[in-house]
Amino acid sequence: MAARSRRPWLSVVLGLVLGFTVASWLIAPKVVELSERKRRGGHGGSLSGGGGGGGDGGNNLCAFYGRVAGLPGGKRQLRPEEPAVTAAGLGGTGGRHRRWEKEREPRPPPAPPAADGPVPSLPVAAAGRDPQEEDEEEEGGAGRHGSSHNGSGDYAGTPGCAKTRHFLYVGVMTAQKYLGSRALAAQRTWARSISGRVEFFSSEGSVPPPGLKGEQPLPVVALSGVDDSYPPQKKSFMMLKYMYDHYLDTYEWFMRADDDVYIKGEKLEEFLRSLNSSKPLYLGQTGLGNTEELGKLGLEPGENFCMGGPGMIFSREVLRRMVPHIGECLQEMYTTHEDVEVGRCVRRFGGTQCVWSYEMQQLFHENYERNRKGYIQDLHNSKIHTAITLHPNKRPAYQYRLHNYILTRKISELRYRTIQLHRESALMSKLGNDEISKEDQLLGMTPSFSRFQPRDRNEVIEWDFLTGKLLYSIAENQPPRQNINNIQRAALDDTVMQI
């Protein structure tokens, strides 16, 4: 009887389970499809300026960031069913949010400083807009590929999300007399490797020099009310104000550079992407002043500044905090050193100071050779390979010489990478029982010390022994010991640096 009484209940339970299972298979996909159609309809199609529409499952995240970047001010478009979130509903952060949105609006120029007269009006770019930037805006989005940055130095973390062109803005301080020499050399060499924009700041009335046929004009910004007097304190502060007024919400990092510095753009970008641009960061080679100036720069114990020669780098947050107070910084200067006063202003209003790090001394290289002649003489040096910026190179010929050396190093790296790929291709052909191409046979052969097998003593290869200064040989026509010549020493040092 007990077994008979249980059968109806088991049938009911089994029916319910099967019913819910079938319903989930049939109804749930329809509900998801209707929700997706409703969401797409609310957006009114894909927005321009980034990764395109959301139909491709592999690029949904890229598409989302692309849609956000395509909206004014980086704001996300609300769906029809979403209410507008007020500042009071942000859990106590509404005040900060309102201040940030307010600061994103166009800002009036700060009050004119009394010491230096009225603050100059906004400068005008003498060379006009860069044609490359105009092409980027026509394509839509915030740069070459559309912005999808998450504020942590890397991009969204999803494969397929392209990096933005609007990453770093470099302002180069120069003078009218150097526009046709130092500035033009910088434009032709390292400026092309910058992932962003490079402009040259000079005095009022400066015009770009004539370039080669088919060459883009030098992007010169003539600062109104600023001359080429030295030290360029006012020029430096007004250049930072120009960055703040025109590009604060466009670029993540801002750099102040001299016209005689060399910058490795790709290496600098790799370094900056490892940092959080939303934090107040002030980067460069830390300085305290030379021996004669210690205690005379108005620096308290523990305070420092970033040296101007190798370059200063500001995060967006530092400019947002500091630049509105530039008028006060211009009125309260204690030295004639431009980099010291910029560091003082950053420390006072930016809430930070130059990073105390030994690594920065290698990344931002300043030539401290005893008999320095205004250029970097020894290129076969490990410091040259480690550094991101190199200073100084006063004459254009030195800049071209350094750039040529950097290009040869890059060619060597690409050649080595090509050999590695040929070796891998030959291995895959061997594993797949395919015929190895002649090119892979020649370039993909794995090096080996035992490939040649001598049959008797006369076929044994004679080896020479090298030290840092001497060469030992057992050859009949060679002295057993001799000094290494300059060519051999340079080749040996270059090989050791690669290791």
Ranges of H-type helices in 44-92: 60-69
pTM over 0.75: no
- Provide the token pair at 361: 């001394």
Q: What are phi and psi of 387, to 5 degrees?
A: -70, 150
**Residue type at 496?**
V
- Beta carbons of 347 and 377 less than 8 angstroms apart: no
DSSP 372: -
Strands (E), 320-379: 364-366
Q: Per-residue DSSP letters for 16-54?
A: HHHHHHHHHHHHHHHHHHHHHHHHHHHHTSPPSSSS--S
Residue where the block lists tokens 């910088």: 186
d(CA 492, CA 486): 10
Residue 260, sorted as left (phi over 0), alpha (psi -120 to 50) or beta, turns out to be alpha
- 483's enclosing H/E stretch is strand 481-483
Start-to-end CA distance of the chain, whole Å, equals: 87
Instruction: Please give, one letter per residue, the 3-state secondary structure of 160-198.
Output: CCCCCCCCEEEEEECCHHHHHHHHHHHHHCHHHHCCEEE
2: burial class by Cβ within 10 Å (0-12, 13-18, 19+)? exposed
Answer yes or no: are the C-beta atoms of 365 and 261 closer than 8 Å.
no
Instruction: Report CA 373 to chain centroid distance, whole Å.
Output: 30
Residue where the block lists tokens 């090096």: 447
Q: Both tokens of residue 22?
A: 């079938």
Instruction: Give the contacts of 190 (CB within 8 A, at least 6 positions apart).
Output: 262, 263, 264, 265, 403
The answer to whether residues 355 and 282 touch, using CB atoms and an 8 Å cutoff, is yes
pLDDT tens, the chain, 499 aa long: 444 555 677 777 777 778 777 666 666 666 666 666 655 555 444 434 444 444 444 444 344 334 434 444 434 444 444 344 333 333 333 333 334 344 444 444 444 444 444 444 444 445 444 544 444 444 444 333 333 343 333 333 333 444 557 899 999 999 999 999 999 999 999 999 999 999 999 999 999 998 888 899 999 999 999 999 998 999 999 999 999 999 999 999 999 999 999 999 999 999 999 999 999 999 999 998 887 787 788 888 889 999 999 999 999 999 999 999 999 999 999 999 999 999 999 999 999 999 998 899 999 999 877 666 788 888 888 888 899 999 999 999 999 999 999 999 999 999 999 999 999 999 999 999 999 999 998 888 888 878 788 888 888 888 888 888 898 988 888 888 999 988 888 888 777 777 6
Q: Judge whether 153 and 274 are in contact, CB under 8 Å.
A: yes
**Please, what is the angle between helix 233-247 and helix 338-345, to 10°?**
40
Looking only at Cα atoms, what is the longest distance across the chain? 113
- Residue 190: phi, psi to the nearest 5? -75, -20
Beta bridge partners of 313: 255, 283
Q: Which of 226, 184, 230 is nearest to 202 (CA)?
A: 226
